[in-house]
Structures are given as C-alpha cells and as structure tokens.
Amino acid sequence: MIKVGLIGAGKMGISHLTILGAHPDVEVVGVCETSKLVLSALEKYSSFSCYTDYQLMLEEEKPDAVFVATPTKFHFDLVKELLARNIHVFVEKPFCLSSEQGLELASLASKKNVVNQVGYHNKFIGTFKEVKKLVENGAIGEINHFLGEAYGPVVTKKKEGTWRSNPTEGGGCLMDYASHVIDLINDILSPVTACKGSILKSVYSKKVEDAVYAILELSNKTTGVLSVNWSDETYRKMSTSITINGNKGKIISDANELKVYFKENQCPTGYSKGWNVKYVTDLTEPVNFYLRGEEYSAQVDYFIKAVKGTVPNNVNNFQSAWLTDRAISIIRNQN
C-alpha cells in the first residue's frame, strides 16, 4: 500500500481524493483543507483523517506521496517543502506561477530522485495518445502547421469570481485553460520556444484575459496557432482539440474523436488512404474506478505505478510541466 496525503480538497482535490479512495494500492492517510465547510463534511461522512495544517499531517501520517490541489499560487512553496522531505509529489496544473519557480522545482525533484507528476490529464486521453504516436512515427510526414484550440463556458458574464479572476494567483484563461492546449502541443509536437504575436483578450473579466490567440514557434521551428476562449457558452464543457497538417496527411483530434487523412496508400496499420475516423471508445483502456473520464483515473494510477516503480516517471513530470510554464510566460511577455 502506498500512503498518500492530499493538500487542498477543492474541486480537483475532491476528484483526486475520490479516485485515490477507490484505488486498491492506495491508503489515503490524511486530507488537509483550510475550508471548514469542506473539512467538516469529510470529517463527518468519510473515514479520512482530516487536517487544517499540512505540516502536522506530514509529521503525523508520514505519507509516501502527496497530491497538491490548492490554488496555483501555493504550489511552489508546498511542493518545495514536500521535495525537501523526500515525498513523491503529484501537483495540479499549471505547475507554478513563473517559469523560474518551475525550473527550480524540476531540478530539485530530479536531484531528490522522487516521483513527480503534474495534472495535465489530456495526455491520458486515448485520442491524443494516438495523435502523439502518429506524429512521432512520422505518419503524416513533415509538419507544416498546427492549430491548438480549447473553448468552454467558464466565465460567461461579468462577475467578480474566485482566485481564477486574479492574475497574480494563477487566474486567467492563459494559465488556467490555455495551459492544457500548450502542454499538448509541447508533448505531441515540440516545446514552444517563441511567440510571434499574441492577443490576450478580456471578454467579461476585469482583471484577467478570457481568451488567448497566439502564433507560436516550436523548438523544431514548426509554427502554428493557439486559439483558446473560456467565455464561449456554445460549449457545454471544455472542448480541446488539435489539428496538425503534414506533407503526407492531416490529423484533427479532440478528446472523443480522431480523424486522420492520408494522401497515399502508405500509412500505419489500421489506417488507409483518405479519411479515417477513430473514436475514443476504441482507443481507451478501461480503468478500475471511473469518476469523470478515464483520463483522471488513469493519471492517478500512472503516478501510483511510478511510485511503485513499475512505470517510468516520464509522463507529465515537472520538467515537461516547466516547459509549459515557460511557454505561458513567453506568450504573456510577447503581449
């Protein structure tokens, strides 16, 4: 049994806690949360040990691994302390508020040799995994353009919100929403290294951007476009997609459906010339416990396996999340 603690039982934290609670190899040894409301519900109806002070939790429960799901501005300090104590860390995305902080933690984690993972769950979605495989195998040839998109209904009217509407706390569409798309581009294609132009637009929010449009260049000199808007109420929930044009074909994928076009007969097994459509149902590995998408269970399971040493710590590690933090700052600074 891996002894796991949680810091921050908000929306994401409770989701992780539910999945951890049902995981056969996990013993949840403690939950730390500063909101009395949530904590008292957990105290009354669950059997988890509850804390308001995470240091006390670490001292008393001695977890092997800790999930950090506090608002982003607390990630750096918390993770740094966990690493100092040689505890394996899963932290929510975005990783840190600045690229410098992310780099510091990434190098500290590799020095400490503890398992480190960040919650970019899209990498565990069957369609996107298949896209990565196709691109890496050169199936669509040389890439000449990409388009990364995400739309959803987070802020659909003028209103003062939570920490998400505060630019210094990790709020805003770029950090919160666009980070998912940037992370996918980084992973599937190559890390973003330059921004040729960007628009950070407020639609309803006063202090932060609600949309991000940018022209990006990657380390391998591929160029493309980022288009993200969290104030689009024509979407029922967040919808993320990526389009990639190559000289041998084209890929259009979202979390549900993968469409691939091949110009020639020469293509990977399972595909043929012209359009091919695959559904996530064909590409998804079943999970042991399902809450809200296989990817959320799969990323937790992967982390636990990495702690047990049965898989390499090479998906969503701090290093890759830092590259995403760096891209965020490149886009912001260009603006």
Ligand X SMILES: NC(=O)c1ccc[n+]([C@@H]2O[C@H](COP(=O)([O-])OP(=O)(O)OC[C@H]3O[C@@H](n4cnc5c(N)ncnc54)[C@H](O)[C@@H]3O)[C@@H](O)[C@H]2O)c1
**Residue ranges in contact with other proteins by CB under 8 A:** 10-11, 14, 17-22, 35-38, 40-48, 153-155, 159, 161-162, 164, 234, 236-237, 239, 241, 254, 256-257, 279-282, 284, 286-292
In this complex, which beta carbon is closest to other proteins, that of residue 104 or of residue 210? Answer: 210
Under the binding rule (CB under 6 A), the answer on residue 152 touching ligand X is: no
Q: Under a CB-based contact definition with an 8 Å cutoff, are residues 84 and 58 in contact?
A: no
> Minimal CB distance to ligand X: which residue?
10
Cβ-based neighbour number of residue 143 at 10 Å: 21
Q: Under a CB-based contact definition with an 8 Å cutoff, are residues 203 and 159 in contact?
A: no
Under the binding rule (CB under 6 A), the answer on residue 11 touching ligand X is: yes
Query: What distances in angstroms separate CA 326 from CA 103, 184, 210, 229, one per listed residue?
Result: 9, 14, 20, 20
Interhelix angle 99-112/318-334, nearest 10 degrees: 170
In this complex, which beta carbon is closest to ligand X, that of residue 80 or of residue 259? Answer: 80
Which range of residues in 86-94, 222-230, 275-283, 324-332 is near ligand X by CB under 6 A? Answer: 86-94
In this complex, which beta carbon is closest to other proteins, that of residue 3 or of residue 80? Answer: 3
In this complex, which beta carbon is closest to ligand X, that of residue 10 or of residue 167? Answer: 10
Give the C-alpha separation, 316 to 323, whole Å. 10
β 257-262/249-254 pair status: antiparallel
Q: Under a CB-based contact definition with an 8 Å cutoff, are residues 38 and 32 in contact?
A: no
Under the binding rule (CB under 6 A), the answer on residue 42 touching ligand X is: no
Least distance in angstroms from the C-beta of 319 to ligand X: 18
* 3-state SS class at 223: strand
- Phi, psi (degrees; rounded to nearest 5) at 274: 90, -160
Q: Is 180 exposed, middle or buried (0-12, 13-18, 19+ CB in 10 A)?
A: buried
Instruction: Give the footprint of ligand X on residues 160-219 (CB under 6 A).
Output: 176
DSSP code at position 86: T
In this complex, which beta carbon is closest to ligand X, that of residue 49 or of residue 223? Answer: 49
Q: Which does 335 bind (CB under 5 to 8 A by kind): ligand X, other proteins, none?
A: none
Q: Which does 154 bind (CB under 5 to 8 A by kind): other proteins, ligand X, none?
A: other proteins
Q: Which does 33 bind (CB under 5 to 8 A by kind): ligand X, other proteins, none?
A: ligand X
Binding interface with ligand X (CB under 6 A): 7-13, 32-35, 38, 54, 69-72, 74, 92-94, 119, 121, 176
